Amino acid sequence: MKIATIIIRVLLGLLFVYASANFFLKLSPEPETTGAFKAFQSGIVASTYILPLAKLLELLCGFSFLTGKFVTLANIVILPVTINIFMIHLFMSPENLPIAIAIILGNAFLIFRYWDNYKSLFTP
């Protein structure tokens, strides 16, 4: 189970670091969007702060996953981002839904594996 945790943590870390580096450094062209997702993405881009903030969180949490430091904190910080990734692909861009499912399952797995660190959050 420890090896699976390390593999999932590193894969998520690599994915988040690549996605944020691609956003900030423009490593590859952005895919063409259509329909409701295009309108949604236009709104996010027009806000000027949401997308850079989400990508910065992805970068910081990705590095945390790769180094194995502050993984418990990174799991909680990145959870709203992964939920949004899943919901966006579920409702507006289903062609990339398998990746979104993998991301949210990976995050849920890491939360499960580090559950002992979260127990105190749920005690009155």
pLDDT, tens digit, 9 for 90 and up, residues 43-66: 888 999 999 999 999 999 999 999
Say what the pLDDT of residue 18 is.
96
**114 residue type, one letter:** Y
Which DSSP letter does residue 123 get? -
Domain that holds residue 114: 2-122
| 66-116 per-position pLDDT tens digit | 999 999 999 999 999 999 999 999 999 888 899 999 999 999 999 999 999
CA distance 116 to 42: 40
pLDDT tens readout for residues 32-45: 888 888 888 888 88
Q: Give the pLDDT score at 24.
A: 94
Report how many domains make up the chain: 1
Q: Per-residue pLDDT for 124 more than 90?
A: no
Q: Which residue type sits at 119?
A: K
| Residue 68 Ramachandran class (φ > 0 left, ψ -120 to 50 alpha, else beta) | left
Confidence at residue 123, expressed as pLDDT on a 0 to 100 scale: 86
Q: Pseudo-torsion of CA 68, 60, 109, 96, nearest 10°?
A: -140
Distance CA 99, CA 86 (A): 9
**H helices of the chain, where?**
2-25, 35-47, 50-67, 71-91, 97-113, 115-118
